[in-house]
């Protein structure tokens, strides 16, 4: 279930206020917890899963640093994106204009469906800060 808050946002041009959904704060799933849940569903030990996930993190970072994109099957793709300031001409551009790297993640088609409102397993719950964590259930 995707938990969200409804927050006001003011248009800077006409000052009109509209309300939008925003993800509610959540606790991240850490590597150890992920490894335990994977291990519980297969014959691999939790220690082996942790080792593979740790190696996966290192190798993804290494390939991104080398300028390569990384495709992880039905999960999606990670690709490096440069941040830079502009130069007046290509000849004037140097590495000093490069500010750093970001990572862009693009979901695969199967993942897009798994997280879409068309998927009956995707549900939403509004969380109001002034109430208990129970909110209104709304299905997609």
Query: How do residues 86-121 score in pLDDT, each as one tens digit?
Result: 999 999 999 999 999 999 999 999 999 999 999 999
- Domain segments of the chain: what residues? 2-87+95-139
Quick one: CA torsion of 118, 120, 122, 128, rounded to 10 degrees?
100
At 113 the pLDDT is: 96
Higher pLDDT, 137 or 73: 73
CATH superfamily of 2-87+95-139: IHF-like DNA-binding proteins (4.10.520.10)
Query: How do residues 46-73 score in pLDDT, each as one tens digit?
Result: 999 999 999 999 999 999 999 999 999 9
Confidence of residue 136 (pLDDT cuts 50, 70, 90): very low
């Amino acid at each position: 279930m995707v938990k969200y808050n409804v927050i006001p946002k003011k248009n800077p041009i006409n000052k009109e206020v509209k309300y939008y959904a925003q993800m509610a704060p959540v606790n991240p799933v850490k590597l150890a917890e992920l490894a335990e849940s994977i291990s519980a569903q297969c014959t691999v030990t939790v220690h082996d899963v942790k080792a593979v996930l740790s190696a996966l993190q290192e190798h993804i970072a290494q390939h991104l640093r080398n300028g390569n994109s990384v495709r992880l099957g039905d999960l999606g793709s990670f690709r490096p994106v440069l941040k830079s300031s502009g130069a007046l001409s290509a000849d004037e551009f140097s590495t000093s204009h490069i500010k750093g790297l970001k990572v862009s993640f693009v979901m695969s088609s199967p993942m897009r469906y798994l997280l879409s409102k068309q998927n009956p397993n995707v549900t939403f719950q509004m969380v109001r800060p002034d109430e208990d964590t129970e909110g209104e259930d709304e299905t997609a």
